Amino acid sequence: MTNNIRKRLAATAGVVTLGLGLTVNAVSAENLDEVMARRGLSQQDLLAAAKTYTPSGGRDEFIVFSSGGQSGQVIVYGVPSMRILKYVSAFTPEPWQGFGFDEESKAILESAKVDGREIQWGDTHHPAITETDGDLDGEWLFINDKSAPRIAVISLHDFETQQIVVNPIMQSEHGGAFVTPNSEYVIEAAQYPGVLGRGFAPLSEFNEKFRGAVTYWKFDREAGRIQPGQSFSLELPPYSQDLSDAGKGVSEGWSFTNSFCAERYVGGIELGRPPFEAGCSQADTDFLHVINWRKAEEVYKAGKVTMINDHPVIMMDTAIAEGLVYLIAEPKSPHGVDVSPNGEYIIVGGKLDTHGSVYSFSKIQAAIEAGKFAGTDPYGLPIIAMEDAIHVQVPLGLGPLHTQYDSRECNVFTSLYVDSQVVRWDYCEGKVLDKISIHYNIGHLVAMEGEGVNPKGKYLISLNKLAIDRFNPVGPLHPQNHQLIDISGDKMELLYDMPIPLGEPHYATAIAAEKLKPLVRYRYGTNSRTGGKHEGAVRPGQERIERDGTHVKVYMTAIRSHFTPEIVEVNEGDTVEFIVTNSERAEDETHGFAVSTYNVNLSLEPGKTATAKIVADQAGVFSFYCTEFCSALHLEMTGFLVVKPEGYQEASAEISEGTSYTQADYDKQYQTNLDTQAVIDSVVAYITGRNFKDFPEVVSLVEDAVDQLNFAAEARAKAEETAQAGDWQNATLWAGQWWQYQVKAADIGLRAKTFLDEHGAVVVE
């Protein structure tokens, strides 16, 4: 029956068009008007569809990196198509990516323990892309964990988490991650106050012993790593610090952190006291913290710090003496603090106020230089009077939260939580320009590169909360709703509703797609979590099993469609490490690796090496297999881990054959292969007879096909060698393997041929 493939290949290679019979009950296709009528679409809907629909193979103009909220992941999606491209594991183990399942990523999670506790999730809030001169550069992504004070570092080359740092002094945090204009530092501000260093003090000593803080994590761009040894923090009052932003342009060297619950209320509803929400929202204002981080860096380097958990902290008395921190009143329970592209303006929204408050950096500087303060807070920090710092306050609506900048000068967008609206306004002139209603309560919003020095305008995304009636219902836990808004005209226009199927995003950041330069494949034998060469990587032919006492290391390769070795024998109780290298070059040939009934799964993209480690604590025979549908023989990409019971002695090591083959079987297979090769040759001729070198995709495919044909030649040599020895069993099977490589080559060849046909390749001499 294998002849059928041969015949079919021949038909394809000959470019014979099949004469397909028409059905009797022919149905004519709908036209556009009919479709619109059937689906109830308006002209406006059709325009929105045209603005967002992206045909097969089309590319998005912008890429959004959104926090995944409590999922502990980062969500990557395209604009304007609003299609989610990837969930990247940041803090939560995720088996598809192998994160938390291979030993390499487990090492990262090990370093992410807090005070010795393993934490298998994160409450991600604010992603930030590295910047060069204040411009988003698309090299690295940072994301914070509110629940445990941590920052993850994600490479935007391979979209993998490569580092997690634990804040040494905070109890929780919220205001991370924000980067300085050249990514010198990643800013992380505390949320709920605690004893610095996570010590104990009773709540009765809250005002005296509890503190907030802001940490400046030094980022080493060359290494792609945060350097905890070069990072420092500032002690702050026990207000709940919230979001931050780094100054840029005229305000470069400064950073801004807002806060809520400057009332320092400690709750107690169970005692009959009003709850936190009342006590933390009673005062009309909270405090914006204005921090000179460049000067703080000097103070830290001068050693004027207190070490807490081996981490240098500039205490408040030093900060006051050195002039590092200033406070300014800001409207009640603010959430966003956002610096304008030129660095002169800082916009704050107060959730329980109705204004956008625009602070002027030059006014702030003037007050500081003049030593003009309205007093000090209870901890002695100087307070700048609001009227000395404000450029303008603009009534925007109910519940202003967060602001993003437009490409149009002086234009800005602010989310209105209670009104469920986005407002466009002019922060120079202080006037509202436009409003649009969204569905429903909006948290953050993101404009394209809306936090950089060069905002791109065009699109805005409103990050709306639980979408009760926007989509088909899927139970009591609703998706969130990210609404795409066209901001290219004067009137904002709603284009698209995108459900978020997993997690509750808080903040997102968007970058021009052209700035991203992701890897296509790894250098051979890469440990993706370090970016370096994996010490356990092996080339085909070097595979081996090494035993050291009860510790067994299996140096393995994976290629479609087999692992080497296939049979691994160990003893009950052994620790077994499978160190697997994907030896493919084709970029879509990811393999997986799992051992049945064990808690391991690897994602092995081409070139990657990763380790599955298990304790073989149960006698038995366990299948390992490829968990990615990699080829037609994917299900056959398997092997056995034989775990021998303690004291077991095998009677016979001879493998019994389920099926026996004869010379006739060999001859039949051999002839099939010769026929198949003739067909492959004709496909090759078709491809090489066209300008395939003008298509990089096809050049890759051809390289891969050549690999497969070389493997076929090796298998053929083995077949002929064993046939020579009269071993018809192995000769037939090797001939079969030769044919398998031919099929793989044919698969690739047909894809290349189709690509050439679809892309207008031409015949060459």
Distance CA 368, CA 326 (A): 8
Residue 323 beta carbon to a second copy: minimum distance, rounded to whole angstroms: 25
Residue 20 in contact with a second copy, rule: CB under 8 A: yes
Distance CA 333, CA 348 (A): 10
Sheet holding 480-486, edge to edge: 442-448, 457-464, 480-486, 493-500
Q: How many residues bind a second copy (CB under 8 A)?
A: 280
User: Among 302, 351, 309, 311, which residue's Cα sits nearest to residue 330?
Assistant: 351
Distance CA 700, CA 521 (A): 12
Distance CA 150, CA 740 (A): 49
Site track for a second copy across 420-459, x = CB under 8 A: x-----x----xxxxx-x-xxx-x----------------
Please report, as residue ranges, which positions from 727 to 746 form the binding site for a second copy (by CB under 8 A). Answer: 730, 732-734, 736-737, 740, 743, 746
Please report, as residue ranges, which positions from 111 to 140 form the binding site for a second copy (by CB under 8 A). Answer: 114-115, 117-123
Q: In which element (H, E) is residue 707 found?
A: helix 696-724
Pair of tokens at residue 600: 């391991």
Within 13 Å of residue 86, how many CA atoms lie on the same side as its CB? 11
Residue 185 beta carbon to a second copy: minimum distance, rounded to whole angstroms: 24
Please report, as residue ranges, which positions from 589 to 648 form the binding site for a second copy (by CB under 8 A). Answer: 589-590, 592, 594-599, 601, 603, 605-608, 617-623, 625, 627-630, 632-633, 635-640, 642-645, 648
CA-based radius of gyration for the chain:
31
Of these, 317, 566, 703, 714, which contacts a second copy (CB under 8 A)? 566
Of these, 222, 371, 472, 535, which contacts a second copy (CB under 8 A)? 472
Please report, as residue ranges, which positions from 655 to 714 form the binding site for a second copy (by CB under 8 A). Answer: 655-659, 661, 665, 669, 697
Please report, as residue ranges, which positions from 322 to 381 form the binding site for a second copy (by CB under 8 A). Answer: 331-333, 335, 350-355
Residue 760 in contact with a second copy, rule: CB under 8 A: no
Q: Quick one: CA torsion of 153, 154, 156, 157, rounded to 10 degrees? A: 100
Distance between the two ends of the chain, CA-based, in angstroms? 37
Residue 636 beta carbon to a second copy: minimum distance, rounded to whole angstroms: 4
Q: In which element (H, E) is residue 74 found?
A: strand 73-79
Of these, 16, 50, 725, 763, which contacts a second copy (CB under 8 A)? 50
Of these, 228, 249, 267, 531, which contacts a second copy (CB under 8 A)? 267
Q: Look at the block and give the residue holding tokens 């404009």.
A: 447
Residue 242 in contact with a second copy, rule: CB under 8 A: yes
Of these, 16, 32, 762, 763, which contacts a second copy (CB under 8 A)? 32
Of these, 322, 388, 493, 667, which contacts a second copy (CB under 8 A)? 493
* Vertex 294 angle, CA 289 and 299, to 5°: 95
Please report, as residue ranges, which positions from 291 to 330 form the binding site for a second copy (by CB under 8 A). Answer: none
Pair of tokens at residue 632: 């037609």
Residue 329 beta carbon to a second copy: minimum distance, rounded to whole angstroms: 10
Task: List residues bridging with 546 in a β-sheet.
Answer: 553
Q: Tell me which DSSP letter residue 273 carries.
A: P
Residue 750 in contact with a second copy, rule: CB under 8 A: yes
Closer CB to a second copy, 22 or 762, in the complex: 22
Residue 123 beta carbon to a second copy: minimum distance, rounded to whole angstroms: 6
3-state secondary structure of 283: coil
Residue 300 beta carbon to a second copy: minimum distance, rounded to whole angstroms: 25
Of these, 451, 497, 574, 577, which contacts a second copy (CB under 8 A)? 497
Of these, 227, 376, 488, 688, which contacts a second copy (CB under 8 A)? 488
- Position 331: which residue type? P
State the alpha helices, DSSP H only, in 64-211. Answer: 103-111, 206-209
